Amino acid sequence: MTLQFELLQGEAQSARLGRLHTPHGSVQTPAFMPVATRGMMRGIFPQQLRPMGVEMALCNSFHLYARPGVEVVQKLGGVHGMLAWDGPILTDSGGFQVFSLGALNQVHKDGVEVEHPIYGGKINWTPKLAFETQAGLAPDVAMLLDICPDKPLDQKICADAVQRTVEWARIQRDLHDQRGGASSGQAQFAIVQGGVFGDLREQCAKQLVEMEFDGYAIGGVSVGEGHEAMMKGVEHSCPYLPLQQARYLMGVGTPQDLVEGVARGIDMFDCVFPARAGRFGTALTDQGRLHLLNAKFKDDARPIDPECDCEGCLSKVPRGALRAGFKSKELLPPILVSLHNLHYIQKLMQRMRTAIADGSFAQLRMNILRSYLPARLAELERNA
């Protein structure tokens, strides 16, 4: 079976409901994919994912290439075997990770020279190698290797990134066709670059859409440019993407960015943020972020979030005990708070889907912004 996106409700630049059909089952959108960068969630059991509402997971092809290597992953049953997860999986091409390793100045015409993250020495990470690695790992969706600049406000850097991203997209599209295209059982998503520049986003999106990919991502966001610039990147990209195909905003996962992305027509997200924040003692709730290491939680006997029915909160471990545990580097607090955060984000996606269906999305968006981004709420209220 090939990948199909079914748009159930919504338009190009407003909140939409959909369903992504993959060889490993369907995903209700808007959806959030938790990240198993190296083929494993940190502290979360695979069987805990479905009960919290996860329908699709993400892992990183560059890291799996580095360890344990494609051949080993294949012997373990591909990425599905590695993650012990039988639902849909998307693999990132490693573009973001490669560039976050500071490799932007190591880019050459055919790829990017990057240090092997484990053994040292150089890897020449090319579009062909990213493609072949993902063909071997066998996810449901493979991302193209693109150029992800860490300076989305620099026009020259973004223009160069767009040009190379499009050139590399052509190479990977041809490789996909040679492998049988959709009949290979793997879908291919392209990534729109262009930073905060409308003309570059438009140019990049149009050139990629001409090549007819299975879905489109908006990349080069969430690299420190701030919420507003990130949303500009989204607004400059969405109008040029096909209405009936999935749009995926890469590396985005705070409550405020999720509701604002959904409000602009995004269907899919991934981010390490919820789990990482949990590991460092920050819990996400409808009242905003709770920094559990704060002294005010020292003798707080309540669970992480008394409103929540996740395993972390149902365990009834008190906030004060978690605080003490974090301080003494116990294993359990980071696990319980990560679990809570992933559960919170999945429930938020579910609440957004319900709200889009029953017409109350605007209200839910306001409620989340009130706790997470009051400045944006004030702006919306001024314009209302």
Active site residues: 92, 270
Question: Of these, 130, 159, 241, 310, which contacts Zn ion (CB under 5 A)?
Answer: 310
Task: Kindly indicate which of the ranges 110-118, 180-188, 254-262, 303-311 contains the residues binding Zn ion, using the contact rule CB under 5 A.
Answer: 303-311
* DSSP for residue 239: G
For the bound state, the minimum distance from the C-beta of residue 326 to Zn ion, rounded and expressed in Å, comes to 16
Interacting span for Zn ion (CB under 5 A) from 182-190, 232-240, 311-319, 363-371: 311-319
The two tokens of residue 371 are: 């706790």
Nearer to Zn ion (CB atom), residue 243 or residue 317? 317
How many angstroms separate the CA atoms of 373 and 184, rounded? 43
* DSSP class of 60: E
Tokens of 333: 């607090």
Interface map 262-301 toward Zn ion (x if CB under 5 A): ----------------------------------------
Q: Does 63 bind Zn ion (CB under 5 A)?
A: no
Question: Of the listed pieces 38-46, 80-88, 257-265, 305-313, which binds Zn ion according to CB under 5 A?
Answer: 305-313
Task: List binders of Zn ion among 168-187 (CB under 5 A).
Answer: none
The helix/strand/coil state of 138 is coil
Give the single-character DSSP code of 104: G
DSSP E strands, the chain: 4-9, 17-22, 25-29, 31-33, 57-60, 89-92, 107-108, 111-115, 122-125, 141-143, 187-192, 215-218, 246-249, 268-270, 282-285, 288-291
Note whether 313 binds Zn ion by CB under 5 A. yes
Alpha helices in 211-254 (DSSP H): 227-237
What is the smallest separation between the CB atom of 309 and Zn ion, expressed in angstroms? 7
**Is 52 an interacting residue with respect to Zn ion (CB under 5 A)?**
no
Q: Pick the closer one to Zn ion by CB: 112 or 304.
A: 304
Q: Which residues contact 342 (CB under 8 A, 6 or more apart)?
A: 34, 44, 52, 54, 274, 275, 278
Interface with Zn ion: number of residues (CB under 5 A) = 6
Comparison of 147 and 313: residue with beta carbon closer to Zn ion: 313
Contact 252, 230 (CB under 8 A): yes
CB of 311 to Zn ion, least distance (A): 8
* Per-residue burial over 58-96, b = 16 or more CB atoms within 10 Å of its CB, e = otherwise: bbbbbbbbbeeebeebeeeebbbebbebebbbbbbbbbb
- Measure the CA–CA gap between 221 and 196, rounded to whole angstroms: 9
Which distant-in-sequence residues (6+ apart) come within 8 Å of 69 by Cβ? none
> Rounded CA gap, 69 and 286, in Å?
41
Does 340 participate in binding Zn ion (rule CB under 5 A)? yes
Residue 308 in the binding site for Zn ion (CB under 5 A): yes
Q: Which stretch binds Zn ion (CB under 5 A): 70-78, 102-110, 204-212, 340-348?
A: 340-348
**CB-wise, 205 or 313, nearer to Zn ion?**
313
Nearer to Zn ion by Cβ, of 308 and 364: the residue is 308
From 189-197, 198-206, 313-321, 363-371, give the range in contact with Zn ion by CB under 5 A: 313-321
319 binds Zn ion (CB under 5 A): no
Give the nearest distance from C-beta 51 to Zn ion in angstroms.
12
Amino acid at 370: R
Closer to Zn ion by Cβ: residue 296 or 302: 302
Report, in Å, the least distance between residue 283 CB and Zn ion. Answer: 8
Name the amino acid, one letter, at 337: V
Residue number, 258 or 284, with CB nearest to Zn ion: 284
Shortest Å, Cβ 44 to Zn ion: 13
Integer angstrom CA distances of residue 167 from 160, 174, 207: 11, 11, 10
- Closest separation in Å from C-beta 307 to Zn ion: 8
Binding-site ranges for Zn ion (CB under 5 A) = 305, 308, 310, 312-313, 340
